[in-house]
Structure 1
Amino acid sequence: MDSLMLIFLMCLALGAIVGFFAGLLGIGGGLLIVPALIYLLPWAGFESEQLTHVAIATSLATIILTSLSSARSHHKRGNIPWPLFKSILPGVVVGALCSAFISEQIPSDNLRQAFAIFVVLMALQMAFQFKPRQSEVMPSFAMMFSASIVIALLAGLMGIGGGVILVPFLSYCGLQMKQAVGLSSATGFLIAIAGTTGYVLAGLKVHDLPEATLGYIYLPALLGIVISSMLVAPIGVKAASTWPTKVLKRIFALLLMVVGVKLMFF
């Protein structure tokens, strides 16, 4: 079996795990996909200086379909405040597009360590559910624009949809949780589209990437993850109604903590 097919099959398995936990716990897949690809991609011939960039870019590309599906579901339920979405749209696009070109200036090892720290922080948030005190006044347009740039930039650099950052921020701004989650799903789609575009354009200048890449995106991994995650996510959603999700979320947070610490000393 050649390395390309092996990576595809392993990413099918990875996508199934990501899809199940996404449905069960309502989390984005990037926190799992990025570290998993960092370990898998060397088998496909990726050099160490390319690893983190390709893992992050591929993770962002998988979020396009998953976030679109989520956004459509929230839209049907009336959970997306579209006037607010329009106000943060410009900042999201700018931040996500810039993320790919900024990441190019960061050595792969440093980017991996930054991601590891981010994973540990998100694990702590998931385990202890820190909730910011709500503000009584919505921020100005300038404040929302600036915040959306920073959030989209961080999301693009970390290869995630941004919900773990955006939802607490919107909740702090006084938005109802269901609307914050719905708006996050819509902005996650935009972050994924803009960020993926940036990583494709940035990667086209790199001539020593292995075959089956589109810019920094590794297509066999993308295809494997998307196919299985879309199929398995509904199973996780059904399990969420009967499984002890609070306990599982803390166990999952512990797993993320271990992954983050391991990545720091990769």
Structure 2
Amino acid sequence: MKVRGSVFEGGTRMDFVVDAHMGLALVVGAGLGFFGGLFGIGGGILAIPLFVLGFGMEQAQAQGTALVLMVPNLLVGWWRYQQRQPMPWRAQVAIAGSATLVTWGMAHFATQLDPLVLRGVFCVFLLALAIRLWRAAPAAAGAEKPLALRWLPVVGAAGGCSMGLLGIGGGLLATPLLAGWLGQRQAVAQGLSLALVAPSSAVALAAYASAGHVDWSRGLPMAVGGLATVSAGVAWAHRLPERRMRTAFAAMLGVTALWLGVGRWLMG
């Protein structure tokens, strides 16, 4: 839909045309970028339910389009993190290599699944994440263990499964494994998680796009809008009470998962 109008300047009439769909996509992308930065989890978790419920997309199409929003944010985040907290390249290659291979296979598998089955898996993931966030306790401080490179491909494969199948969640699985199982400091765990999700999200996007499950006309403007506001969301995150934010976000994810699961039947 295009909105036409005119303005007068110095006695001269100037006509203009505004693409309302692009304007809406920029605004929505800006909101998703802000809340992604605020909650520190990523715009995809918010974008996918919005695409399904608000835009009527099938699950695979929603996941592919959300990756358009996520990929630039994750790549910029990875680059910025390397500037502040450099990670050993051997470790990054180990975790990113396995994640990328598994992501490619799982993404192709996801594009062949029945949309209702894929939506059900996504709902279960959101509910599990909501419960985990609700019950999460602050991480205990402790001595960092030496990084065991031999286990990084296992962590990468776990994160790659989630990125390929759902388009999200690689970092949410990898960070607790790196911090809890492998005993790394939170900063190191987050840095290695970015090394996992940034390249694997690009691979997942390529797989979804090759299967025709990406709406570029909505995804690209949203990506631009998200890049403009994600830093503001991060800044606000440092001003608000962490526990209250996490509880509110967990409640929102739980409600979203339930609505995705039963909303279609409730509305007939």
TM-score (norm 1): 0.83
Distance in 1 of aligned mates of 2:235 and 2:149: 40
Contact 1:92–1:187 (8 Å) recurs in 2: yes
Question: Which residue does 2:72 correspond to in 1?
Answer: 65
Contact 1:97–1:198 (8 Å) recurs in 2: yes
Q: After alignment, is 148-157 or 128-137 more displaced?
A: 128-137
> Structure 1 pair 79/124, CA: closer, same or farther in 2 (3 Å)?
farther
Matching residue within 219, 222, 238 for 1:222: 219
Q: Deviations over 1:81-132 (max 9, x none)?
A: 3221121232111111112211133100010011011011111222222689
Contact 2:96–2:200 (8 Å) recurs in 1: no
For 1:245, the aligned partner's letter is E
1:161 CA displacement: 5.4
**SS of alignment partner, residue 217 of structure 1:** coil
2:30 counterpart of 1:16: yes
Question: Which residue does 2:174 correspond to in 1?
Answer: 166
Question: Which residue does 1:27 correspond to in 2?
Answer: 41
Question: Which residue does 2:5 correspond to in 1?
Answer: none
* Residues 139-218 of structure 1 aligned to structure 2 (within 5 Å): 141=150, 143-160=151-168, 162-172=170-180, 173-201=182-210, 203=211, 215-218=212-215
2:241 counterpart of 1:244: yes
Q: Deviations over 1:133-170 (max 9, x none)?
A: 999675562x4324422320222211115111110111
Aligned length: 244
Q: After alignment, is 11-20 or 225-234 more displaced?
A: 11-20
Question: Which residue does 1:262 correspond to in 2?
Answer: 259
**SS of alignment partner, residue 227 of structure 1:** helix
Distance in 1 of aligned mates of 2:95 and 2:232: 33
For 2:34, the aligned partner's letter is F
For 1:66, the aligned partner's letter is N
* Structure whose alpha-carbon radius of gyration is higher: 2
Q: Deviations over 1:46-86 (max 9, x none)?
A: 6xxxx111111111222210001111111011243322112
Contact 1:161–1:191 (8 Å) recurs in 2: no
For 1:26, the aligned partner's letter is G
> Structure 1 pair 97/131, CA: closer, same or farther in 2 (3 Å)?
farther
Residue identity over aligned pairs, in percent, reads 24
**SS of alignment partner, residue 190 of structure 2:** helix
Greater share of strand residues, 1 or 2?
2
For 1:144, the aligned partner's letter is L
Contact 2:156–2:196 (8 Å) recurs in 1: no
Distance in 1 of aligned mates of 2:255 and 2:147: 37
Question: Which residue does 2:13 correspond to in 1?
Answer: none
Q: Deviations over 1:33-54 (max 9, x none)?
A: 1111112333xxx6xxxx1111
* Residues 42-191 of structure 1 aligned to structure 2 (within 5 Å): 42=56, 51-129=58-136, 141=150, 143-160=151-168, 162-172=170-180, 173-191=182-200
> Structure 1 pair 41/93, CA: closer, same or farther in 2 (3 Å)?
same
1:16 CA displacement: 2.0
